[in-house]
């Protein structure tokens, strides 16, 4: 089975508090995008993983591998798989690259082995592997709460283009969260009502205005270069620009493809760039 595993961006990321186990309570609107990995899965006795396009481990530290092990544990069945990941999502970018693969594996094996697990059950299994998997299983546009395990579908965003801008350095998610400690965030919270209203009304101008991510504060501290990337995007006058997740990737929102291209071709800093659209689904079977 060949699966498209979409990446995500965070249109807004608010942090409500820290739990005793160190994880943070989120309030985040997430959006799946048309940039994604290709994950090919065949049933097998053992677990065999191959990654093309990135230097990643192929052992039990890989999120895709962990997903197979978690399904085995949850079902008690001798599930195995030969998996090839064609990596297109940049690493340590805040684009949920690892979680997208994990979600694709859970989704694919559920079908291949006729496990008949509901999305909520897959989500519960996935949340134990990484916090972005529940959203990745859902895809589209969603409000994500808890530490990432509570996913509430929102009407899919149908308009707009995003220019993704990924600096050559990554940011560790753990470090970005750790850096929040002791910071006064009272004035940094996003306007949640306004962002939900902009989405409900499909008002891209307002959506651009109210984009906000609390983790930008930490990321800028970890690597102040991020600021240059955001400024370059903002100087090209998109509807708005923001860092995604824990970074280091940023994105600019535009009304149409013409403006997205205008921005894309004028970016000068080193790194990767992509023009993408919102994607209305999660892992998608392209070929049985
Ligand atoms: C930054 C986001 O991408 C926003 O969507 C996610 O919150 C991170 O999701 P993720 O990379 O799937 O996260 P995990 O792999 O589960 O956790 C990585 C690290 O991030 C921190 N973490 C993650 C999620 C969360 N709600 N609070 C946290 O504090 C923890 O220190 C954890 O050790
Ligand atoms: N299949 C995978 N794809 C990408 N990274 C993986 C995978 N499995 C394990 N990892 C590990 O996870 C680390 C970070 O993963 P990822 O690229 O998903 O970060 P991210 O883009 O910051 O994601 P998020 O938005 O979920 O925080 C990588 O440096 C890598 O070592």
DSSP string, 112-133: HTT----HHHHHHHHHTT-TTH
Q: What is the mean pLDDT of the chain?
A: 97
Q: Which two tokens stand for residue 128?
A: 């134990």
- How far apart are the CA of 163 and the centre of ligand 2, in A? 21
3-state class (DSSP) for residue 262: helix
* CATH architecture of the domain with residue range 161-276: 2-Layer Sandwich (3.30)
Residue 130 has pLDDT above 90, yes or no: yes
CATH assignment of 2-155+280-287, among 3.30.9.10, 3.30.450.20, 3.30.230.10, 3.40.50.1000: 3.30.230.10
Long-range contact set of residues 145-149: C-beta below 8 Å, sequence gap at least 24:
145/25, 145/26, 145/27, 145/28, 146/25, 146/26, 147/19, 147/23, 147/24, 147/25, 147/26, 148/26, 149/123, 149/124
Angstrom distance (rounded) from CA 188 to CA 117: 40
132 lines ligand 2 (CB under 6 A): yes
Residue-range domain boundaries for the chain: 2-155+280-287, 161-276
pLDDT of residue 182: 84
64 lines ligand 2 (CB under 6 A): yes
Q: Does the active-site annotation cover 132?
A: yes
Same fold, 2-155+280-287 and 161-276: no
Cα distances from 189 to residues 3, 89, 150, 208, in angstroms, run: 36, 28, 20, 16
- Residue 90 annotated as part of some ligand binding site: yes
pLDDT of residue 265: 98
Note whether 176 and 217 are within 8 A (CB): no
ipTM value: 0.95
Question: By percentage, how much of the chain surpasses pLDDT 90?
Answer: 97
- Residue 97 annotated as part of some ligand binding site: yes
Q: Does the active-site annotation cover 8?
A: yes
Strands (E), 53-195: 81-86, 141-146, 150-154, 161-166
Note whether 84 and 48 are within 8 A (CB): no
Its pTM stands at 0.97
3-state class (DSSP) for residue 194: helix
Residue 187 has pLDDT above 90, yes or no: no
- How far apart are the CA of 99 and the centre of ligand 2, in A? 7
Please tell me the number of the ligand nearest to residue 150's CA: 1
- How far apart are the CA of 7 and the centre of ligand 2, in A? 11
Cis amide bond preceding 248, omega within 30: yes
pLDDT of residue 39: 98
pLDDT of residue 43: 97
């Amino acid at each position: 089975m060949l699966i498209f595993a979409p990446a995500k961006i965070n249109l807004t990321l608010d942090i409500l508090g820290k739990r005793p186990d160190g994880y943070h309570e989120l309030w985040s609107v997430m959006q799946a995008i048309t940039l994604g990995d290709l994950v090919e899965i065949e049933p097998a006795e053992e677990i065999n993983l191959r990654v093309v396009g990135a230097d990643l481990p192929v052992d039990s530290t890989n999120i895709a591998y962990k997903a197979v092990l978690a399904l085995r544990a949850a079902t008690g069945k001798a599930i195995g798989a030969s998996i090839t990941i064609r990596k297109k999502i940049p690493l340590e970018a805040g684009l949920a690259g690892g979680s997208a693969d994990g979600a694709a594996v859970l989704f694919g094996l559920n079908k291949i082995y006729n496990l008949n697990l509901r999305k909520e059950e897959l989500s519960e299994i996935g949340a134990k592997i990484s916090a972005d998997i529940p959203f990745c299983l859902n895809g589209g546009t969603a409000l994500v709460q808890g530490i990432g395990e509570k996913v509430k579908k929102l009407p899919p965003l149908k308009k707009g283009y995003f220019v993704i801008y990924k600096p050559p350095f990554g940011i560790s998610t753990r470090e970005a969260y750790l850096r929040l400690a002791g910071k006064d965030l009272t004035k940094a919270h996003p306007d949640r009502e306004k962002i939900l209203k902009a989405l409900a009304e499909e008002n891209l101008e307002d959506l651009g205005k109210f984009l906000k991510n609390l983790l930008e504060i930490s990321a800028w501290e970890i690597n102040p270069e991020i600021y240059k990337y955001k400024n370059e995007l903002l100087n090209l006058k998109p509807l708005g620009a923001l860092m995604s997740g824990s970074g280091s990737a940023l994105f600019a929102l535009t009304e149409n493809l013409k403006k997205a291209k205008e921005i894309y071709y004028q970016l000068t800093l080193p790194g990767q760039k992509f023009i993408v659209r919102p994607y209305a689904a999660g892992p998608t079977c392209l070929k049985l």
